[in-house]
A and B are shown apart, each in its own frame.
Chain A
């Protein structure tokens, strides 16, 4: 579809742009061309009305010779040739019109007087067409860049969605296998405890599955997921895993992307506690400050074990999700000092239920 015909407002703008052009042409014919204002107006206005539609055809030659892909020579040849042919057609039309108008008594002799202005009109037609070509190229470029932008946005949204889905679906299989192994041990040692563990695991899995459709969850929900996760790991690690939680100073209604903290707690276990023969502590804490929530996950770790890559996959994911949601409003700080590994997250405290707001 021709881009100047839709939307209608754009077409209107195009027609408006022709008014000064027609004015200039009338002036050229009337004053330097000595046709007189009336004769020039009567002749030029219908010609311009026709030619503005003729010039729309530049679109097709522009499409046929895209500016990025064609050689300069070919571009010029295409458009100059088209301009010459169309302008010639226009001039012939003008002669015909002048001839017709001359039949009226009031315009007698217009035909003869106009004859000397034919080269001027041809030149004008030629230039007008080239101008139209230039503006069509501009429109094409703008449309291309708009399209490219939309594509980039779409693909980044798609990528983020895919990533999120993958993240949500991803319960670390090793966590699952280790938990099942613990259950299999408990069945003979402590059947009641085995059943409890089964239930914890089922609840944890159900919660992670349920998060699939949500974009935000209240902190209370994320915390209850984390408590189950830690309770399961506690069975596995026994006295080696100590837990502390200090979340009183932050509203449990604060919204955050689902499973934002879970990978951090998982890291704390697999890269922290699991590497310590005598175990250590995982500490969750949070507070609100100036309309922002600050959450921290801290764990004991072994500084001599294979160094924790600061850009580990889990950390990178959390960082990207924070950025995707809050942009520059969020921050994440990672530190590893004195045998303590710590991740601090800060983001705007939003307690509105976005799920409900959407509906």
Chain B
């Protein structure tokens, strides 16, 4: 039941007491309705899909799914205020266009200021956090797992289990353990997040996990096929073949 005049908010923190502090602070504002409280990232993703809140108070350090992972999965229509005891994430938080960044323990005045900022930006369309995060990624720090959402279900794919990724319009299809997962991301930004010593862009539309390639076969003029352990055949362009060879030379 959504009251059109009220701002709907979500509180996400894995600690009961931390949620309690936020609830108390929020409850002093009658114009805000708390749609749900979540104790982890999975619940948060689900609750966002269900309640479509205007605003989320999002803890950064949570088990399995961090606040940043959640932000990556919830689309672009929610204003996010990060809440954490760690100040080292502040830079990253603003890079992914968080509205504000609250440090625990949270003071009343600081909370009010954050809320004002959030109110002025509710309804705005935020840029996709994922692309921002990818471009702001520090050099030499690569993903060790990829988070994917299918409806309200969240899957974590460890990158070592990723066989290949295929570009499909605005999405990438991630093939892992015989299943395909769709994620809204461009293949170029995915490529930037993966360790180039393990993943090779073999084709305009394909990134392959080097470990999974069994052999390369010629296929027509100037192009080849990469055969994976599970017999999947992926096209390899001329430039892609050159990249594969460079990596192979580095490794031997």
* Chain A interfacial positions (CB closer than 8 Å to B): 174, 177-178, 180-186, 188-189, 235-238, 274-277, 302, 304-307
The reply to whether the CB of B139 lies closer than 8 angstroms to some CB of chain A is no
Give the distance to chain B from A294, nearest Cβ to Cβ, in Å: 31
Q: Which residues of B contact A306 (CB under 8 A)?
A: 144
Contact A277 B104 (CB under 8 A): no
Give the distance to chain A from B60, nearest Cβ to Cβ, in Å: 11
The number of chain B residues with a CB under 8 A from chain A is 23
CA A313 to CA B15, docked complex, whole Å: 26
A-B contact pairs, 26 of them (CB 8 A): A174-B85, A177-B104, A178-B85, A178-B104, A181-B17, A181-B21, A181-B85, A181-B104, A181-B105, A181-B106, A184-B21, A184-B106, A185-B21, A189-B17, A235-B17, A236-B15, A237-B15, A274-B61, A275-B64, A276-B63, A277-B14, A277-B40, A302-B63, A302-B64, A304-B158, A306-B144
CA A186 to CA B86, docked complex, whole Å: 21
Question: Which B131-168 residues sit within 8 Å CB-CB of chain A?
Answer: 144, 156, 158
Chain A residue, CB-CB nearest to B21: A185
CA A50 to CA B55, docked complex, whole Å: 98
Question: Which B197-217 residues sit within 8 Å CB-CB of chain A?
Answer: none
Q: Which residues of A contact B20 (CB under 8 A)?
A: 185, 189
Contact A177 B63 (CB under 8 A): no
Q: Which residues of A contact B63 (CB under 8 A)?
A: 274-277, 302, 305
The reply to whether the CB of B24 lies closer than 8 angstroms to some CB of chain A is yes
Give the distance to chain A from B21, nearest Cβ to Cβ, in Å: 4
- Indicate the member of B14, B61, B144 with the most A CB atoms within 10 Å: B14
The reply to whether the CB of B230 lies closer than 8 angstroms to some CB of chain A is no
CB 8 Å contact bits of B175-218 with A (1 = contact, 0 = none): 00000000000000000000000000000000000000000000
CA A182 to CA B13, docked complex, whole Å: 12
Contact A277 B64 (CB under 8 A): yes
CA A181 to CA B40, docked complex, whole Å: 18
Mostly, the B contact residues are loop
Q: Which residues of B contact A183 (CB under 8 A)?
A: 105
Instruction: Identify B105's interface contact among A184, A277, A307, CB under 8 A.
Output: A184
Q: Which residues of A contact B105 (CB under 8 A)?
A: 177, 180-181, 183-184
The reply to whether the CB of B103 lies closer than 8 angstroms to some CB of chain A is yes
Q: Which residues of B contact A276 (CB under 8 A)?
A: 63
Give the distance to chain B from A172, nearest Cβ to Cβ, in Å: 10
Question: Which B1-42 residues sit within 8 Å CB-CB of chain A?
Answer: 14-18, 20-21, 24, 39-40, 42
Instruction: Identify B17's interface contact among A236, A274, A277, A302, CB under 8 A.
Output: A236
Contact B85 A177 (CB under 8 A): yes
Give the distance to chain B from A223, nearest Cβ to Cβ, in Å: 26
Contact B24 A188 (CB under 8 A): yes
Instruction: Identify B64's interface contact among A180, A182, A305, CB under 8 A.
Output: A305
CA A277 to CA B42, docked complex, whole Å: 10
Q: Which residues of B contact A235 (CB under 8 A)?
A: 17
Q: Which residues of A contact B24 (CB under 8 A)?
A: 185, 188
Contact B104 A180 (CB under 8 A): yes
Contact A186 B17 (CB under 8 A): yes
Q: Which 3 A-B residue pairs are closest in the complex by CB-CB distance? A: A177-B85, A185-B17, A181-B104
CA A180 to CA B23, docked complex, whole Å: 17
Known: A185-B17, A274-B14, A306-B144. 4 other contacts (CB 8 A): A185-B20, A189-B20, A274-B63, A307-B144
CA A302 to CA B105, docked complex, whole Å: 28
CA A184 to CA B39, docked complex, whole Å: 19
Instruction: Identify A304's interface contact among B21, B106, B156, CB under 8 A.
Output: B156
CA A302 to CA B24, docked complex, whole Å: 32
Instruction: Identify A182's interface contact among B14, B15, B40, B106, CB under 8 A.
Output: B15
Chain B residue, CB-CB nearest to A307: B144
CA A183 to CA B103, docked complex, whole Å: 15
Q: Which residues of A contact B86 (CB under 8 A)?
A: 174
Contact B16 A238 (CB under 8 A): yes
Instruction: Identify B18's interface contact among A181, A274, A307, CB under 8 A.
Output: A181
Contact B103 A177 (CB under 8 A): yes
CA A177 to CA B105, docked complex, whole Å: 6
Q: Which residues of A contact B103 (CB under 8 A)?
A: 177
Q: Which residues of A contact B42 (CB under 8 A)?
A: 277
Give the distance to chain B from A314, nearest Cβ to Cβ, in Å: 17
Chain A residue, CB-CB nearest to B14: A277
CA A6 to CA B158, docked complex, whole Å: 70
CA A67 to CA B67, docked complex, whole Å: 65
- Indicate the member of A181, A188, A274, A275 with the most B CB atoms within 10 Å: A181
Give the distance to chain B from A189, nearest Cβ to Cβ, in Å: 6
CA A306 to CA B142, docked complex, whole Å: 12
